[in-house]
Amino acid sequence: MTDIQINIKNKTYPTAAKPTIANLKLSLNSEEFICLVGPSGCGKTTLLNIIAGLDNDYDGEILVGQQHTHPKIGYVFQNPRLLPWRTVRENIELVLDGPVDVVDALLEVMQLAQSQHAYPERLSLGMSRRVSIIRAFAVDPEVLLMDEPFVSLDAPTARQVRELLVKLWQQRPHTVLFVTHDLREAIALADRLIFLSAAPMQVVSEIVVPISRSERHSELAIESFRQQLLQNHPEIKQLL
């Protein structure tokens, strides 16, 4: 695994008056779980699309190690974007080029082995989210992009999928960029929090989450860190 440097000097949509992203620098350490927190509409999805190579109309560079290239991506979108005419298993196998042995293990961890031959329309929201997470891990990406993947789930389901995600990530560590506007969710997941401002998007502050992984399931620990964070960093209040 290699570190990744993202340096976007300017991204302006043709119809927009001012840039969406200006002078944004991020450096992602290998196997680090990073949460990007910012107000909605601040361009987080744009940023992920640039990293994914879906949007090439920008001024800047992305470095994987020493090379100018787009990293290999696993992308968990806001909606799962599964092919409805393929079963769960086929949806995962389709993104793989090589052997598919990895699929069984992934299905097992995400508790989907039973449903592997079901079509996506028959799955619950939480299940289809889990499938799209498996698909993203299956390609063994250099960066895993996650764009508010739990936003439309009810709280208990979101919590369950979040815990499964962490379990999977601990078994198979990858560099993760997880976008959210929910500070509690961000604290529960991240090694490092990056707070972003509204357009033009810039880094407001970066904070390492000191809570150990074993304590993350405690709502109390997360809540007290959240309070402390808001107190010590008043600048982030307006971003939430």
Partner 1 sequence: MLAFLAIWQGLAVYLNSNTLPTPEAVAHVFWQGCVSGQLPFHLGVTLLRLVASFTIAMLLGCAIGIVLGRNKKLDAFFDNWLVIFLNVPALVTIILCYVWFGLVESAAILAVVINKLPNVIVTIREGTRTLDQDLLEMARCYRFGKRKTLVHVIWPQLHPFVMGATRSGLALIWKIILVVELLGRSNGMGYQLHLFFQLFDVANILAYTIAFVAVIQLIELLVLKPLDKKAMRWRR
Beta strand extents in the chain (DSSP E only): 4-11, 21-28, 33-37, 59-64, 67-68, 73-76, 143-147, 176-180, 192-196, 203-208
The answer to whether residue 69 forms part of the interface with partner 1 (CB under 8 A) is no
State how far the alpha carbon of 220 is from the alpha carbons of 45, 167, 225, in Å: 31, 20, 8
Which of 63, 73, 125, 204 is the binder for partner 1 (CB under 8 A)?
73
Which of 139, 158, 177, 189 is the binder for partner 1 (CB under 8 A)?
139
Question: In the beta sheet, which residues pair with residue 180?
Answer: 37
DSSP 129-163: HHHHHHHHHHT--SEEEEESTTTTS-HHHHHHHHH
Residues 104-123 that bind partner 1 (CB under 8 A): 119-122
CB of 184 to partner 1, least distance (A): 28
Q: How far apart are CA 159 and CA 188, in angstroms?
A: 10
CB of 52 to partner 1, least distance (A): 5
CB of 142 to partner 1, least distance (A): 13
Q: Are the C-beta atoms of 76 and 145 separated by less than 8 Å?
A: yes
Stretch that binds partner 1, among 10-18, 82-90, 148-156, 173-181 (CB under 8 A): 82-90
Which of 75, 150, 195, 225 is the binder for partner 1 (CB under 8 A)?
75
Stretch that binds partner 1, among 4-12, 49-57, 99-107, 161-169 (CB under 8 A): 49-57
The answer to whether residue 217 forms part of the interface with partner 1 (CB under 8 A) is no
Residues 154-183 that bind partner 1 (CB under 8 A): none
- Of the candidates 199, 179, 156, the residue with the CA atom closest to the CA atom of residue 33: 179
Q: Which is nearer to partner 1, 139 or 222 (CB)?
A: 139
Sign of the Cα torsion 25, 31, 37, 41 reads positive
The answer to whether residue 125 forms part of the interface with partner 1 (CB under 8 A) is no
The answer to whether residue 137 forms part of the interface with partner 1 (CB under 8 A) is no
Show the binding pattern over residues 86-105: x = contacts partner 1 (CB under 8 A), - = does not. x-------xx----------
Q: How far apart are CA 145 and CA 147, in angstroms?
A: 7
Q: Which is nearer to partner 1, 122 or 237 (CB)?
A: 122
- Of the candidates 177, 189, 210, the residue with the CA atom closest to the CA atom of residue 50: 177
Give residues in contact with partner 1 (CB under 8 A). 52-54, 73, 75, 77, 79, 81, 83-86, 94-95, 119-122, 135, 139
